[in-house]
């Protein structure tokens, strides 16, 4: 069933009844658990793409104002998406396909509960963006001081790496405790998804991919057209327009 927990025959029956036009101008409403689940999932995932677009747009604008770059906000959003998608894959591999079910003490259901990806996105996007802003803020300070992208990336990573790793380790332990101790399936899913995302984000993404991509891009990281430099406000407290090197 595309709705996970539903019997395919009952699901087909509900959809067949709703797609049948009764005679005489009457309308047919279908109630019950199956119809409720169908409406719940459809409502969630009808609004979810719009929410994704809105969050990404607002995040891009805020980061563009903070770092005065058109490239870094896009990179930050893509890196966050990478961590979140990796956690979704872990949920399918473990909870939908049933791997490690004996170790984690749960019964595979053959699906992932519909609200879990949305709730995880809401938590993970903000959490991952915290690490990204923390790292990029320090890199930008060095870029403004030296005007050298390679030095800025190396120094920014050296200064913030331990702090980001320590903060992520605390979050990993907290989320991991949901998997080990909590008997509720939904909290196991939520906890494991968050723990995997934090682990991937702080190791592979923040400490490897982000610095590597910024090193490869070089001064392009800080590119913004001159007319935008003049027109957009400066919201970074440490930044003044005359200090910004020209890429």
Mean pLDDT, rounded, for 5-28: 79
pLDDT tens column, 138-149 = 999 999 888 899
Helix (H) or strand (E) holding 32: none
Is the pLDDT confidence value at 242 over 80?
A: no
Given this model, what pLDDT does residue 97 score?
87
Given this model, what pLDDT does residue 184 score?
64
Residue with tokens 């009844």: 17
Average pLDDT of the chain is: 84
Given this model, what pLDDT does residue 241 score?
45
pLDDT band at 124 (very low <50, low <70, confident <90, very high): confident
Mean pLDDT, rounded, for 10-17: 82
Is the pLDDT confidence value at 95 over 60?
A: yes
In this predicted model, which residue has the larger pLDDT, 137 or 180?
A: 137
Given this model, what pLDDT does residue 239 score?
47
Is the pLDDT confidence value at 237 over 50?
A: no
Residue 19 DSSP class: T
Contact 77, 61 (CB under 8 A): no
* pTM of the predicted protein model: 0.81
Nearest residue to 186 via CA among 178, 177, 175: 178
Given this model, what pLDDT does residue 139 score?
92
In this predicted model, which residue has the larger pLDDT, 157 or 4?
A: 157
HSE-CB for 175 with a 13 A CA cutoff? 22
Contacts of 125 (CB under 8 A, 6+ apart): 55, 59, 80, 84
Cα–Cα dist 230/242, whole Å: 11
Is the pLDDT confidence value at 117 over 70?
A: yes
């Amino acid at each position: 069933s595309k709705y996970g927990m539903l019997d395919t025959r009952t699901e087909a029956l509900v959809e067949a009844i709703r797609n049948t036009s009764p005679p005489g101008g009457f309308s047919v409403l279908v109630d019950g658990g199956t119809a409720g689940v169908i409406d719940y999932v459809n409502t969630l995932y009808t609004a979810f793409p719009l929410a994704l677009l809105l969050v990404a747009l607002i995040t891009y604008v805020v980061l563009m104002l903070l770092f005065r770059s058109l490239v870094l906000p896009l990179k930050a959003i893509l890196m966050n998406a990478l961590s979140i998608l990796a956690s979704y894959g872990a949920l399918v591999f473990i909870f939908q396909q049933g791997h490690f079910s004996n170790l984690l003490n749960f019964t595979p259901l053959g699906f992932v509960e519909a609200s879990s990806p949305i709730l995880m996105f809401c938590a993970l996007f903000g959490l991952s963006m915290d690490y990204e802003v923390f790292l990029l803020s320090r890199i930008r300070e060095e870029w403004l001081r030296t005007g050298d992208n390679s030095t800025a990336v190396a120094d920014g990573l050296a200064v913030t790496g331990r702090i980001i790793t320590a903060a992520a380790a605390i979050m990993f332990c907290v989320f991991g405790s949901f998997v080990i101790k909590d008997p509720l399936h939904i909290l196991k899913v939520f906890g494991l998804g968050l723990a995997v995302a934090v682990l991937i984000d702080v190791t592979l993404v923040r400490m490897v991919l982000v610095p590597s991509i910024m090193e490869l891009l070089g001064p392009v990281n800080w590119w913004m057209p001159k007319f935008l430099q003049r027109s957009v406000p400066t919201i970074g407290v440490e930044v003044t327009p005359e200090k910004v090197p020209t890429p």
